[in-house]
Structure 1
């Protein structure tokens, strides 16, 4: 139906209702004697009709989408009708010898609201009950009967293509038990989800509790998976607050949701003073961590963002994303293709753009792959870091933040050793430079390229098995946004030379991660088996964020600690760099370990292995 046709029909329908209402009201108000003269009734009807259309246009009664009608629309009707009656009373007073038929006007007001409002709301009832065919929709349980749950139901009913039919709620609030919300019953508490699913033939569940604790979320997902019920949830509080996603945009539950923690509260003032109006450079800007650091930094309106990376497509992608999301903020964005191993290129970039802050996220991070390619690991992770750090020193960069890894603690593999050596490089430079050099060390990042989550997902898509190296292997995990936020916050705390360590929470068994992902994908371990393959070259069973000698008491900020590490021997570093090109792969591994451990430590570790 076109807007013009709809407008004409509404005006015609209202005209009939308004014209009838005052005559019906006169008969109801004065049933036994004709108190009001016919001429007065006709004048009153004409006045009411004119005033109604004036106020109907004023309060947009002909422009509202009545299939979504609620309290706001009812309020508009009441205002329009009330003002129409007041206007008619004035006309009646002047035309009838200063007489107002109050009883008739009161009844007219009530009939007017009932009939105008009813004509609008009847469409919503017809649409919900008869026009939409619930047989094509999945019977859906809403978990949480608060304001969010109410919004979800309103959205489902308002969207004919949502594919979901709300059946009822579950909520732990005692005062809501056996009550109804939007004509839907509260069917029980969270502990009753299993029986509610069976008794009401639930096909899908939507979690509408924004701050649901992770252990309860885990139990809900487990119960729903056992009953073969797909589970979705509202977006994160962060996405809702920033307006990135509306509450109606449901999302599938990811492993990150089950393992997530309380959001980090950033010191916005400190970060703003540190970032706002400055030029910031990010190496590895197209990678998982580098790109998220870019997104987080844009909120603080730096003057320029220098996106440095080796892969042209990844740099193009993050540049386009930042321009699309933050283009109106006036921040200059420079996509720069360059390899950190190219010393001349790094000096050229830093000299040209003169950044105040550098986040060095470019690195090779795949542990088994670096065991086979130790030379490339050193070139990228150590020499690359040295190139960018020395450029920062020469051109007066204020702060240099190295993104390090928990694998740098007591390293047993090439990747970990090169990251520890990179830390030593910047610690050594901090002793002689005006630039503040710091490192931020954290564990595995959920969803990053090369992490286990994408691998497990591919294996599940292929029907399994999901491969886990050892049933007892554990790792620390953190989401990409949380890690990036803490990296930025750590930069504000830098005094120079620190190794900041992020609180990664409790270590998680890799096999538990695999089980969660299998269940979230709607399968059981019988359908998608887990296969133990054995530890790969260079892998540890357990990883640490700090060794015993590196722990400093107390947090310097929420979830951020400062580690105390051994100072690097500058002579050893220089000697290693000088003979690097002449070392075989095996000799290269030995020399890496010699720099990190003294002779006694190295001897003891060799004996243990």
Structure 2
């Protein structure tokens, strides 16, 4: 007999046993109620063990059990919901008994028996279930003496669910709870005592002999998570966290799953709350084209545009694999969405004209770009061709086709550019602002942001891989800092800015404070359960070609202003000559055709006077206020 057949018959046998138990309890309840009713009478009638009335009551109650669905639950996980179901079934059975026996006006059935019946039957059915569950819980704890002792941080709903899951698993034993709410001190959470505040984690962990810490506060913002992680690190114990609700809904985490604290949890800020009504009203029914739609930013833009109302998305992508992946994902996740792909280079005028004329998009998001600073220092031609001239190619075609909105994805490296990436992106910004002044129909919007966590080639995936292989982690300079944001956060900013912006504006997210890269590396080592400098070493390799110590978000004379959204800032248009910018495009194209690097450098320097080599620029790099991640020493001071 196959294993599935054995399980089927075993489960069926157990279910029938439970049904027989419940019917026996109905019989017993009816007999006991009659016995109690007549116990005080001298001439009490004899009570037969079985009669037609008793059989009718058992039959009627069994139908009520089936109708209410009493046997969908398991005794092992009996809960309040099951008790409510039992009482409901008992009450339905009482109504059936009253209706059936009403033909003889309930002769022979005392009213007192009927009144007490549903309560007594519920007690007889519910008590064995609760006792069985309690016994199994106790048995699980006792049967595994090696259960890992867990100290839970947080006493909210997440902690309550966590404690239940830990007990059911049998692999963990919750030994205490910590929470900063003073009114909870001394209370119990499912029998587990609340032993103090989060600051007491080191002493309480030692007293309870905890072997694992679990952070059960999914609503913590980045600052709060940094503090709690610092406290956990001060104990020297491993720690985990419960997933956030958003992660569960998106399918990236499972309910009750313990996961490692990710660096994104420490770098992220409070979630951006965009004007959803504005964004959805703007996107609803639109056809949207995304260049570089298979890349990190482009693919997330496609997801969010699809999620918020666009009816058709056109992906312009040069990579076959990325094109296949994003198209398949969009069609799987959004069955009603019309998804089209154009394979080709967005710097090819014929490709761009074909895409625009074939699908007539209302809005174009230009996300295609090269973005690796050291590599592009040696590849100036490709930086200019792909970042500057391809932008001009798409933007000009949009003007000619009458596209309503052109949204250009830029970078903070375009501010006081010190490398090929920054200069090529700054020139592209100036092209967009120049065309905006000439175009009566197309609205140009530029969005700048800093480093994106998890994007291809970014520092976080590189550090993860270096940690996985045992190190060392390579950091360019002890004092280098960068701004960081998540991919979804960046794309929300883009949509918010595009939906509400004025013509020709440049927007930037309020990205908080920059972060020391060496502290980022140290924190990622500790999150992996290693000790910086002991298990994984950090090697400083020196600034690479084109790199600055600190990035800026705006030029000093851009006079950034707040917008209607508290996290979005708007930069004013700087003074420059649109005629010079656009006329030099033709010169750049000739230099590209002849591979004349010197002409390209001269054009960039002439058009962007602030463009300086990194050696000259480093001397005037602004000092930045740096966010320091919690260290073990910092955790002990909390």
Fold match by TM threshold 0.5: yes
Q: Is structure 2 residue 588 aligned with structure 1 residue 577?
A: yes
Mapped to 1, the partners of 2:523 and 2:123 lie a distance apart of: 54
Q: Is structure 2 residue 429 aligned with structure 1 residue 437?
A: no
Instruction: Give the 3-state SS of the residue equivalent to 1:334 in structure 2.
Output: strand
Match for residue 392 of structure 1?
A: 398
Which residue, 268, 271, 277 being the options, matches 2:285?
A: 277
Q: CA deviation at 1:155?
A: 3.5
Match for residue 121 of structure 1?
A: 130
Between the two proteins, the alignment pairs up a number of residues equal to 603
CA contact (8 A) 2:591 2:599 kept: no
Q: CA deviation at 1:299?
A: 1.2
Q: CA deviation at 1:346?
A: 1.4
Mapped to 1, the partners of 2:486 and 2:58 lie a distance apart of: 62
Cα gap change, 1:589 to 1:165, in 2 (>3 Å): farther
Mapped to 2, the partners of 1:35 and 1:213 lie a distance apart of: 72
Q: Is structure 2 residue 507 aligned with structure 1 residue 496?
A: no
Q: CA deviation at 1:240?
A: 5.0
Cα gap change, 1:416 to 1:26, in 2 (>3 Å): same
Aligned pairs for 1:362-381 within 5 A: 362-381=368-387
Q: CA RMSD in A?
A: 2.8
Match for residue 331 of structure 1?
A: 337
Match for residue 162 of structure 2?
A: 152
Match for residue 80 of structure 1?
A: 89
Instruction: Give the 3-state SS of the residue equivalent to 1:80 in structure 2.
Output: helix
Q: CA deviation at 1:423?
A: 0.6
Instruction: Give the 3-state SS of the residue equivalent to 1:416 in structure 2.
Output: helix
Q: Is structure 2 residue 520 aligned with structure 1 residue 517?
A: no
Match for residue 101 of structure 1?
A: 110
Match for residue 605 of structure 2?
A: 593
Mapped to 1, the partners of 2:95 and 2:207 lie a distance apart of: 54
Q: CA deviation at 1:336?
A: 2.4
Unaligned runs of 5+ in 1: none
Q: CA deviation at 1:261?
A: 1.0
Q: CA deviation at 1:76?
A: 0.8
Mapped to 1, the partners of 2:607 and 2:273 lie a distance apart of: 38
Q: CA deviation at 1:574?
A: 2.6
Which residue, 562, 581, 597 being the options, matches 2:570?
A: 562
Q: CA deviation at 1:524?
A: 1.2
CA contact (8 A) 2:483 2:513 kept: yes
Q: Structure 1 stretch 422-431 or stretch 245-254: which is displaced more?
A: 245-254
Mapped to 1, the partners of 2:188 and 2:103 lie a distance apart of: 50
Mapped to 2, the partners of 1:135 and 1:245 lie a distance apart of: 29
CA contact (8 A) 1:92 1:99 kept: no
CA contact (8 A) 2:454 2:460 kept: yes
CA contact (8 A) 1:301 1:331 kept: no
Cα gap change, 1:568 to 1:52, in 2 (>3 Å): farther
Q: CA deviation at 1:290?
A: 0.9
1:575-597 Cα distance to aligned partner (Å, 9 max, x none): 34254234643553343122111
Instruction: Give the 3-state SS of the residue equivalent to 1:10 in structure 2.
Output: helix
Q: CA deviation at 1:559?
A: 1.3
CA contact (8 A) 1:93 1:99 kept: no
Cα gap change, 1:532 to 1:25, in 2 (>3 Å): same
Aligned pairs for 1:120-199 within 5 A: 120-131=129-140, 133-135=143-145, 137-158=147-168, 163-199=171-207
Match for residue 415 of structure 2?
A: 409
Match for residue 542 of structure 2?
A: 534
Unaligned runs of 5+ in 2: 1-6, 621-638
1:271-304 Cα distance to aligned partner (Å, 9 max, x none): 1222111100111111111111111111122121
Mapped to 2, the partners of 1:205 and 1:422 lie a distance apart of: 50
Cα gap change, 1:521 to 1:494, in 2 (>3 Å): same
Cα gap change, 1:99 to 1:243, in 2 (>3 Å): farther
Mapped to 2, the partners of 1:342 and 1:130 lie a distance apart of: 70
CA contact (8 A) 1:476 1:506 kept: yes
Match for residue 70 of structure 2?
A: 61
Q: Structure 1 stretch 252-261 or stretch 232-241: which is displaced more?
A: 232-241
Q: CA deviation at 1:104?
A: 4.8
Match for residue 322 of structure 2?
A: 314
Cα gap change, 1:501 to 1:568, in 2 (>3 Å): farther
Q: Is structure 2 residue 256 aligned with structure 1 residue 248?
A: yes
Q: CA deviation at 1:396?
A: 1.1
1:454-479 Cα distance to aligned partner (Å, 9 max, x none): 11111111222212111111111111
Mapped to 1, the partners of 2:418 and 2:57 lie a distance apart of: 88
CA contact (8 A) 1:573 1:595 kept: no
1:1-54 Cα distance to aligned partner (Å, 9 max, x none): 435323321221112222222333444455454634425984553233123212
Instruction: Give the 3-state SS of the residue equivalent to 2:334 in structure 1.
Output: helix
Q: Structure 1 stretch 233-242 or stretch 205-214: which is displaced more?
A: 233-242
Mapped to 2, the partners of 1:53 and 1:287 lie a distance apart of: 61
Match for residue 50 of structure 1?
A: 59
Match for residue 632 of structure 2?
A: none
Q: Structure 1 stretch 87-96 or stretch 317-326: which is displaced more?
A: 87-96
Q: Give the structure-1-normalised TM-score.
A: 0.91
Mapped to 1, the partners of 2:326 and 2:172 lie a distance apart of: 35
Mapped to 2, the partners of 1:308 and 1:535 lie a distance apart of: 35
Cα gap change, 1:489 to 1:515, in 2 (>3 Å): same
CA contact (8 A) 2:475 2:540 kept: yes
Mapped to 2, the partners of 1:542 and 1:51 lie a distance apart of: 79
Cα gap change, 1:568 to 1:264, in 2 (>3 Å): farther
Q: CA deviation at 1:548?
A: 0.8
Mapped to 2, the partners of 1:240 and 1:4 lie a distance apart of: 33
Instruction: Give the 3-state SS of the residue equivalent to 1:501 in structure 2.
Output: strand
Match for residue 460 of structure 1?
A: 467
Q: Give the structure-2-normalised TM-score.
A: 0.87
Q: CA deviation at 1:190?
A: 1.3
Mapped to 2, the partners of 1:543 and 1:97 lie a distance apart of: 88
Q: Is structure 2 residue 561 aligned with structure 1 residue 550?
A: no
Q: CA deviation at 1:318?
A: 1.6
Instruction: Give the 3-state SS of the residue equivalent to 1:125 in structure 2.
Output: helix
Which residue, 6, 11, 14 being the options, matches 2:19?
A: 11
Q: Is structure 2 residue 33 aligned with structure 1 residue 22?
A: no
Cα gap change, 1:174 to 1:462, in 2 (>3 Å): same
Instruction: Give the 3-state SS of the residue equivalent to 2:408 in structure 1.
Output: strand
Q: CA deviation at 1:310?
A: 1.2
